[in-house]
Amino acid sequence: MKIGAMLGDVFRSLFRRPATRQYPSERKAAPQRLRGKLHWDAEKCTGCQLCVKDCPAQAIEVVMMDKADKRFAMRYHLDRCTYCAQCVVSCRPGALSMSSDEWELAATSKEPFTVYYGDEADVERLMVGLAEANADGAQEE
Amino acid sequence: MSEILALLFFPGGLFVLAGGMAYEWADRKLVARLQNRVGPRWFQPLADTVKLLAKEEVIPSGVNAFLFLGLPVVALAGALTAAIYVPLAGLNPIYSFPGDLIVTLYLLSLLTLCTGLAGANTANTFSLVGATRTLTQLFSYEAPFLLALLGPALAAGSWQINQINAYAHDHWLLLTQPVGFVVALIGLMGKLELPPFDAPEAETEIVAGALTEYSGRGLALFRLGRNVELMIGLTLVASFYLGGLGNPLEFFAKTLALLLGLSFLQSLMARLRIDQTVGLWWRYGALLVLAQWLALILIGGLAR
Amino acid sequence: MTERVVMADKREKFIIPIGPQHPALKEPGHFEFTVDDEIVTDAAVRLGYVHRGIEKATESRNWIQNLYLLERICGICSHTHAMAYCLGVEKLGGVTVPPRAQAIRSLVAELERIHSHLLWLGVAAHEAGFDTLFMYSWRDRETVMDVLEGLTGNRVNYSANLLGGVKFDINGDQGDTIRRGLDFLEERTRYYLDVVTSDAVFLQRTRGIGLTTIEQAERLGLVGPTARASGVARDLRIDAPYAAYGDIPVKIVLDSAGDLEARFVVRIKELFESYRIIRHILDHLPEGELQTKMPRRIKAGETISRVEAPRGELFYFIKSNGTDTPERIKARTPTMCNMASVAVLAVGHQLADMPMILAGIDPCFSCNDRSVVIRQGEEGGAWTWERLRQYGIDFYRRQS
């Protein structure tokens, strides 16, 4: 039985640097497998909607823009996503991947939390469509 | 006129308040570094005090409002009054008279008594348990702590603090009364409710002990009182046992060295239960210091 | 006229409530201790503050979505929940998982056990007021968190499991990182074992406190390291091996003292066991694929699966009706079994020992609030959602 069994450790700590990492002035390099923000490759997508079905948080919406051309756009809700990577596994053509360095996703407003992927014109049409739908809803009320 | 300045600014009043906050910061920083952490920045205690003073003071129902609001003021007043009799910053105390050691020790206990009363005043079960523990701890360490501080008084043959200070300048009582030094240091930890004697303020058992219901100005005054007590306690023990305090450099060096020792003891041990604290003090503390006194009296008698 | 004089108990009951909000509790739970001058004379436990309706929510999600929902029942034992679910569903679907996937599952489970026990060591030390041990053990726990992040992609809620296998592979570099982390942790764990068994003040707070005899442990139905600290030799990895544990020799860690010190010692010694098991898995990792195909609709049937979580035996009942959403999933977590012992053991101890005794069973309140018990009147049968809702409204109306 001794008094102060941690004396060695405690004494040595006086001469060592603290173990605290001073974030944000120093950032640790993120590991390669880190599950950060989702990225979508429009070229590879076949529109099978398996990712939409399997997402536990309903964070992905795949919208068909042109049936003949097989063009799709994706609306991704950053704030609903649980970063589980099930969609990455479910996607057979491999159109989805999770970034390993975009993980500081906090924002001060809600707009950055809805991310649109796809062709520029498609995305604009989607956003205009969304604004119109909102306006219609407001008029009905 | 110069006395009023001394009371308000230096070395009483503002100096003691600022010094208390500086010592609290040093204590927290040292404990943090010993635990391999960074610790707070230098203005943290000041920021805490300013924030608390700016907050609304909530008076819970079922308490005596006069006592609730008045006890923190009395506690801080007691601590500040005790400051005028000790050699702060290594200079002579502002006031001094024979027997002022007893008055100072009584004034230091006033803070603990006010904490206990404040806890007993409320209807909160946590505060009641905390108040009981505070007063139990007060009764247990007070006698050995007093005796440990009166040992140097016996050796110096006087009850006046600045005379004991002058006597200690030539005699390092750390070497001739080592047991008294240890008991005084550990008694200081008990008085300030530092770990391992922080059962009255055990965060994981009774939230915040006697001061659970306090917020805002009352809490700020209690905390300031505790910081002032830390500084005065360190001054007393350093001046009696570490060879007196003659100039500011000696003051800071010796009190900071003592603070380092206190920080080590704080970080090394787990919290003692209140019954274990009482057992420790009444078994070992009191017996050791009584044995020391016996030795002093015998050796003093033999020398004559 | 006879008067019946009723002598009221003059001493009113002094009840100290610990929770729902209290610095000793990391999650809400309510404990009422009736105290007579620092000695506890009676105790009552009330749970249910973290009930989120997860079991009901599983009935409206498909099998794949449920994997991630159930993983989030608890943050510290998330992988074991997911593993128990996967094992049960794979049994129902009649699918054999390749051995490499099972081995990787067991490896992540052992890494999670290390993380959980180190977390517990810090928290229990903090409840005793020993902040230094708390800070140091949590600093060392960062090593295993970094290993898990490099291996799986996240520090908690690893999402390593898939229905039919695992998501990722372990290559040589990662194996080396794991081994280096384990070497560092093993040396530190040896140091902590020494501290916990020899520090005089800490022993005063743990030796002889919360004494549970082996008969009491069997009667109260304790599981996990709490029971093994009283001498009950029950470990699912040995009694009913699952995943890759059939091929790995697991030694049971027992202690006969039954007090808080024994619980500390058992959990720290289990850490050594986990290091050994992980090294064994890394050395004997079988070749093969990582995943087999699972059908989207699982055959109708019911099954149970049991897994040794860091806190004890985790029990899952899964019932399927042939569609792609489950019929009923019930999770019985280990803390549910151990919680009753707190009320029983608390009596006779001092108030200051209460947080320690509570921390000694390693409570996980999020895991706990799984079931809702409804005391019925005369009628039996199943209640509809509307009836349950009305019952709740009436209950609270009656209280006020």
pLDDT, position C374: 55
pLDDT, position C354: 87
- Rounded to the nearest 10 degrees, what angle do helices B100-121 and B178-191 cross at? 30
| Structural domain boundaries enclosing B236 | 2-303
Angle at C187 between CA C185 and CA C188, to 5 degrees: 65
Residues whose CB is less than 8 angstroms from the CB of residue A78 and which lie 6 or more positions away in sequence, other chains included? A37, A59, A105, A112, A113, A114, A115
B269-298 pLDDT, tens digit per residue, is 888 888 888 888 888 888 888 888 888 888
Name the residue of chain A whose CA is nearest to B268's CA.
A4
Distance CA B22, CA C237 (A): 55
Which position has the higher pLDDT, C399 or B290?
B290
Whether the CB-CB separation of B240 and B159 falls below 8 Å is answered with no
C71-89 pLDDT, tens digit per residue, is 999 889 899 999 999 999 9
pLDDT, position B71: 93
Burial class (CB in 10 A: 0-12, 13-18, 19+), C8: exposed
User: Is C22 part of the contact surface with chain B (CB cutoff 8 Å)?
Assistant: yes
C26-40 pLDDT, tens digit per residue, is 888 888 889 887 788
**How many Cβ atoms from other residues are within 10 Å of residue C372's Cβ?**
12
Q: How far apart are the first and last CA of chain C?
A: 38
C230-270 pLDDT, tens digit per residue, is 999 999 999 989 988 988 989 999 999 989 999 999 999 99
State the pLDDT confidence band at C372, using cuts at 50, 70 and 90: low
Distance CA C259, CA C319 (A): 40
How far, in Å, are A41, A59, C48, C101, C205 from residue A46 at the CA level? Answer: 11, 18, 46, 29, 64
Instruction: Indicate if the pLDDT at residue B186 is higher than 60.
Output: yes
- The strand ranges marked E within chain C are 15-18, 30-36, 39-46, 161-162, 165-166, 301-309, 312-320, 328-332
Query: Using the beta-carbon criterion (under 8 Å), do A90 and C195 form an inter-chain contact?
Result: no
Residues whose CB is less than 8 angstroms from the CB of residue C174 and which lie 6 or more positions away in sequence, other chains included? C150, C151
Q: How far apart are the first and last CA of chain B?
A: 46
State the pLDDT confidence band at A81, using cuts at 50, 70 and 90: very high
Distance CA C302, CA C304 (A): 7
Whether the CB-CB separation of C361 and C342 falls below 8 Å is answered with yes
pLDDT, position C7: 42
Helix or strand or coil: residue B182? helix
Helices marked H in chain A — which ranges?
7-13, 50-54, 86-90, 120-140
pLDDT, position B43: 93
Instruction: Indicate if the pLDDT at residue C276 is higher than 70.
Output: yes
Helix or strand or coil: residue C72? coil
Nearest CB among B36, B204, B269 relative to C136 is that of B36
- Find how far residue B122's CA is from the centre of its chain: 25
Architecture of the structural domain at A31-132: 2-Layer Sandwich (3.30)
Distance CA C397, CA A18 (A): 54
The distance between the two most distant Cα atoms of chain B, rounded to a whole number of Å, is 63
Percent of chain B predicted with pLDDT > 90: 37
Residues facing C42 on adjacent strands? C34
Name the residue of chain A whose CA is nearest to C143's CA.
A19
Distance CA C347, CA C35 (A): 9
pLDDT, position C283: 93
Instruction: Indicate if the pLDDT at residue C10 is higher than 70.
Output: no
Name the nearest CA neighbour of C83 among C165, C141, C174. C165
Which contacts (CB < 8 Å, 24+ apart) does range B91-95 have?
Answer: B91/B11, B91/B248, B92/B162, B93/B161, B93/B162, B94/B3, B94/B6, B94/B7, B94/B11, B94/B12
Query: Using the beta-carbon criterion (under 8 Å), do C350 and B273 form an inter-chain contact?
Result: yes
Distance CA A74, CA A90 (A): 16
Name the residue of chain B whose CA is nearest to C139's CA.
B36
- Find how far residue A64's CA is from the centre of its chain: 21
Query: Using the beta-carbon criterion (under 8 Å), do A18 and B264 form an inter-chain contact?
Result: no
Mean pLDDT to the nearest integer, C3-22: 64
Q: C42 in the Ramachandran plot: left (φ > 0), alpha (ψ -120 to 50) or beta?
A: beta
C118-147 pLDDT, tens digit per residue, is 999 999 999 888 999 999 999 999 999 999
C161-191 pLDDT, tens digit per residue, is 999 999 999 988 999 999 999 999 999 999 9
User: Is B257 part of the contact surface with chain A (CB cutoff 8 Å)?
Assistant: no
Gap from C271 CA to chain A (nearest CA, Å): 20
Name the residue of chain C whose CA is nearest to A28's CA.
C146
Name the residue of chain C whose CA is nearest to A36's CA.
C153
List % helix, strand, coil for chain B (3-state, nearest 5).
75, 0, 25
pLDDT, position C308: 94
B: neighbours with 3+ CB pairs under 8 Å? A, C
Nearest CB among B126, B203, B267 relative to C132 is that of B267
Instruction: Indicate if the pLDDT at residue C373 is higher than 60.
Output: no
Edge-to-edge order in the sheet of strand C39-46? C15-18, C30-36, C39-46
Q: Find where tokens 């009950």 sit.
A: C232
Residues of B in contact with A14 (CB under 8 A): 33-34
One-letter amino acid of B87: P
Name the residue of chain B whose CA is nearest to C33's CA.
B125
Residues of C in contact with A55 (CB under 8 A): 65
User: Is A98 part of the contact surface with chain C (CB cutoff 8 Å)?
Assistant: yes
Name the nearest CA neighbour of B195 among B116, B262, B95. B262
Distance CA C252, CA C234 (A): 8
Angle at C388 between CA C387 and CA C393, to 5 degrees: 95
pLDDT, position C388: 81
Residues whose CB is less than 8 angstroms from the CB of residue C51 and which lie 6 or more positions away in sequence, other chains included? C369, C370, C372
Mean pLDDT to the nearest integer, A68-89: 88
Number of B:C CB contacts under 8 A?
Answer: 78
Gap from A4 CA to chain B (nearest CA, Å): 5
User: Is B267 part of the contact surface with chain A (CB cutoff 8 Å)?
Assistant: yes
User: Is C155 part of the contact surface with chain A (CB cutoff 8 Å)?
Assistant: no
User: Is B51 part of the contact surface with chain C (CB cutoff 8 Å)?
Assistant: no
Query: Using the beta-carbon criterion (under 8 Å), do A9 and C136 form an inter-chain contact?
Result: yes
Distance CA C292, CA C305 (A): 20
User: Is A14 part of the contact surface with chain B (CB cutoff 8 Å)?
Assistant: yes
Query: Using the beta-carbon criterion (under 8 Å), do A13 and B35 form an inter-chain contact?
Result: yes
CATH number of C54-332: 1.10.645.10
Residues of A in contact with C154 (CB under 8 A): 34-35, 83
Q: C321 in the Ramachandran plot: left (φ > 0), alpha (ψ -120 to 50) or beta?
A: alpha
Instruction: Indicate if the pLDDT at residue C105 is higher than 80.
Output: yes
Instruction: Indicate if the pLDDT at residue C4 is higher than 50.
Output: no
What DSSP line would sit under B240-295, residue for residue? HHTT---SHHHHHHHHHHHHHHHHHHHHHSPPPPHHHHHHHIIIIIHHHHHHHHHH
Mean pLDDT to the nearest integer, B175-193: 88
pLDDT, position C336: 85
The domain total for chain B is: 1
Distance CA B241, CA B86 (A): 14
pLDDT, position B253: 92
What DSSP line would sit under C360-385, residue for residue? HT---HHHHTT-------S--SPPPH
Following CA atoms B284, B286, B292, B296 in sequence, which dihedral angle do they give, to the nearest 10 degrees?
Answer: -170
Query: Using the beta-carbon criterion (under 8 Å), do A6 and C195 form an inter-chain contact?
Result: yes
State the pLDDT confidence band at A137, using cuts at 50, 70 and 90: low
B161-170 pLDDT, tens digit per residue, is 888 888 888 8
Residue A50, token pair as written in the block: 């398996």
Residue C126, token pair as written in the block: 């903090």
Query: Using the beta-carbon criterion (under 8 Å), do B36 and A4 form an inter-chain contact?
Result: no
Percent of chain C predicted with pLDDT > 90: 50
Whether the CB-CB separation of C368 and C335 falls below 8 Å is answered with yes
Query: Using the beta-carbon criterion (under 8 Å), do A10 and B34 form an inter-chain contact?
Result: yes
pLDDT, position C85: 95
Gap from C181 CA to chain B (nearest CA, Å): 20
Gap from A10 CA to chain C (nearest CA, Å): 8
Instruction: Indicate if the pLDDT at residue C318 is higher than 90.
Output: yes
Angle at C383 between CA C379 and CA C385, to 5 degrees: 155
User: Is B284 part of the contact surface with chain A (CB cutoff 8 Å)?
Assistant: no
Burial class (CB in 10 A: 0-12, 13-18, 19+), C379: exposed
Instruction: Indicate if the pLDDT at residue B12 is higher than 90.
Output: no
pLDDT, position C278: 95
Residues facing C43 on adjacent strands? C33
**How many Cβ atoms from other residues are within 10 Å of residue C9's Cβ?**
6
pLDDT, position A141: 46
Mean pLDDT to the nearest integer, A30-39: 90
User: Is A19 part of the contact surface with chain C (CB cutoff 8 Å)?
Assistant: yes
Average pLDDT across chain A, whole number:
85
Nearest CB among C22, C201, C354 relative to B272 is that of C201
Name the residue of chain B whose CA is nearest to A12's CA.
B34
Q: How much is the CA Rg of chain C, to the nearest whole Å? A: 23
Which position has the higher pLDDT, B239 or B285?
B239
pLDDT, position C371: 59
Percent of chain A predicted with pLDDT > 90: 27
Distance CA B202, CA C352 (A): 9
State the pLDDT confidence band at C92, using cuts at 50, 70 and 90: very high
Residues of C in contact with A6 (CB under 8 A): 132-133, 136, 195, 199
- Find how far residue C123's CA is from the centre of its chain: 15
Instruction: Indicate if the pLDDT at residue B203 is higher than 80.
Output: no
Query: Using the beta-carbon criterion (under 8 Å), do C200 and A55 form an inter-chain contact?
Result: no
Distance CA B157, CA B174 (A): 17
Distance CA C125, CA C132 (A): 8
Gap from A129 CA to chain B (nearest CA, Å): 49
Mean pLDDT to the nearest integer, B45-69: 91
- Rounded to the nearest 10 degrees, what angle do helices C260-283 and C172-198 cross at? 160
Domain map (residue ranges) of chain A: 31-132
Distance CA B293, CA B147 (A): 8
Which position has the higher pLDDT, B171 or C155?
C155
pLDDT, position B167: 87
| Highest mean pLDDT: which range of B140-154, B223-237, B267-281, C383-397 | B223-237
Residues of A in contact with B35 (CB under 8 A): 10, 13
Average pLDDT across chain B, whole number:
88
Instruction: Indicate if the pLDDT at residue C6 is higher than 70.
Output: no
Distance CA B225, CA B204 (A): 24
User: Is C67 part of the contact surface with chain A (CB cutoff 8 Å)?
Assistant: yes
Burial class (CB in 10 A: 0-12, 13-18, 19+), B63: middle
Residues whose CB is less than 8 angstroms from the CB of residue A8 and which lie 6 or more positions away in sequence, other chains included? none
What pTM was estimated for this model as a whole?
A: 0.90
Query: Using the beta-carbon criterion (under 8 Å), do A86 and C68 form an inter-chain contact?
Result: yes
Buried b (16+ CB within 10 A) or exposed e, C301-322: eebebbbbbbbbbbbbebbbee
Whether the CB-CB separation of B115 and B222 falls below 8 Å is answered with yes
Instruction: Indicate if the pLDDT at residue A134 is higher than 70.
Output: no
Residues whose CB is less than 8 angstroms from the CB of residue C151 and which lie 6 or more positions away in sequence, other chains included? A33, C108, C111, C168, C170, C174, C178
